[in-house]
Amino acid sequence: MTGVRPVLLVFDDAHERAMGEALAGTLGWGLDVVQRHRFPDGETRLTLPARLPPSVAMLRGLQDPNAKLTELLLAAGGARELGTRRLALACPYLAYMRQDKAFHPGEVVSQRHVGALLAQAFDAVLTVDPHLHRIASLDEVLPGRRGFALSAAPLLGRFVAERAPGALLLAPDEEAGRWVRAAAGAAGLDHAVCLKERRGDREVEVALHGAPVRGRAVVLLDDVASTGRTLAGAAQAALAAGASSVDVAVTHALFVGDALAHVRSAGVRHVWSSDSVPHASNCVSIVPLLAEALGPSMG
């Protein structure tokens, strides 16, 4: 089997198949599909290619994770049984990273346990802009394995510079500050950071903290848009302080429920996102990021 090129496995999902075709083509790898059959009782039968090479990578995003995690772990076990020795996961959106400590007695620290499961199944895990706060490296989430935390911030920054030259990049909260700094540095744009006070899952207050928005085109940049409340609050504050326009650029466009409508109603003009999660706002491809990192991850 010496010299056999790696294979990229994708699940039979239209978005991931398209991304997988572009990624495998960039790398010069083979591409194959994990077929799924859902039984009436909710269980899934997976069918992998009958033969796999020693090196395999799986492409699977974990938005809507509760269903996908089971399938992913089953597919990883099946690939090992079929002879794969080096198995990597390219996971554009990695779920369950926010809960990194127990805030109340009895709370399960999901980051720790999901990380341990992935570390048992894969030799390396690549993801884009994971929601990490109190740890320095993705390696800490994956005991004994290699973690590659890539960032779409520079890609988004350069995209914004083309669409809104001279815009002020604004982080809607302190947690997004590092993404905004990276994006601004890559694109040569000014940046600033808001302050946020969260009062519940859907209740937040955002203050500009002296951000120089008056008369400026402002682009809010964040790693993930979920309920949209933080982005909406920042947009309203920026427009009230005299911003000439407000757009939004995010890595992971989850936009749960009425989130996008809520952001639009706050006065946001354009919403742009990477294609890490399928959404109508996708306009920046993460394939170059994944391709650059997948080769080293298989070594």
User: Which tens digits make up the pLDDT trace of 175-212?
Assistant: 888 889 999 999 999 999 988 665 554 555 667 877 89
**Average pLDDT for residues 245-252, to the nearest whole number?**
98
Residue 266 CB burial class (10 angstroms; 0-12, 13-18, ≥19)? buried
State residue 161's pLDDT score.
97
Contact between 153 and 169 under an 8 Å Cβ cutoff? The reply is: no
pTM of the model: 0.92
Q: Burial code of 61-81, b = ≥16 C-beta within 10 A, e = fewer?
A: bbbebeebbebbebbbebbee
Q: Say which range, 80-94, 117-131, 196-210, 222-236, has the weakest mean pLDDT.
A: 196-210
**pLDDT of 1 over the 50 cut:** no
Q: Is 31 helix (H, G, I), strand (E, B) or coil?
A: strand
Any idea which architecture 7-151+285-297 has in CATH?
3-Layer(aba) Sandwich (3.40)
State residue 253's pLDDT score.
97
Q: For residue range 46-102, what is the model confidence (pLDDT) as tens digits?
A: 999 999 999 999 999 999 999 899 999 999 999 999 999 999 999 999 999 887 787
State residue 103's pLDDT score.
84
Distance CA 176, CA 163 (A): 21
Residue ranges of the chain that CATH labels 3.40.50.2020: 7-151+285-297, 153-275
Distance CA 22, CA 288 (A): 9
> Quick one: tokens of 167?
């815009």
Give the residue from 115, 124, 136, 133 showing the smallest Cα distance to 62.
Answer: 115
**pLDDT of 290 over the 60 cut:** yes
Contact between 256 and 232 under an 8 Å Cβ cutoff? The reply is: no
> Quick one: tokens of 83?
């002879």
Query: What's the maximum distance between 2 C-alpha atoms anywhere in the chain?
Result: 64
Q: Burial code of 163-184, b = ≥16 C-beta within 10 A, e = fewer?
A: ebeebbbbbbbebbeebbbbbb
> Quick one: tokens of 189?
């744009």
Contacting residues for 294 by C-beta, under 8 A, at least 6 apart: 23, 27, 57, 88, 90, 126
| Helix locations, 82-176, DSSP H | 110-121, 153-163
Q: What is the dihedral of CA 287, 51, 148, 139, to 10 degrees?
A: 160
Pick the CATH number of 153-275 from 3.40.50.2300, 3.40.50.2020, 3.40.50.720, 2.40.50.1070: 3.40.50.2020
Q: What percent of the chain has pLDDT over 70?
A: 95
Contact between 88 and 118 under an 8 Å Cβ cutoff? The reply is: no
Contacting residues for 54 by C-beta, under 8 A, at least 6 apart: 1, 4, 83, 84, 85, 86
Distance CA 108, CA 100 (A): 9
> Quick one: tokens of 133?
């706060």
Mean pLDDT of the chain: 92
**pLDDT of 270 over the 90 cut:** yes
Element holding 32 (H helix, E strand): strand 30-38
**pLDDT of 137 over the 60 cut:** yes
149: phi then psi, degrees, rounded to nearest 5? -95, 100
State residue 102's pLDDT score.
78
Contact between 224 and 211 under an 8 Å Cβ cutoff? The reply is: no
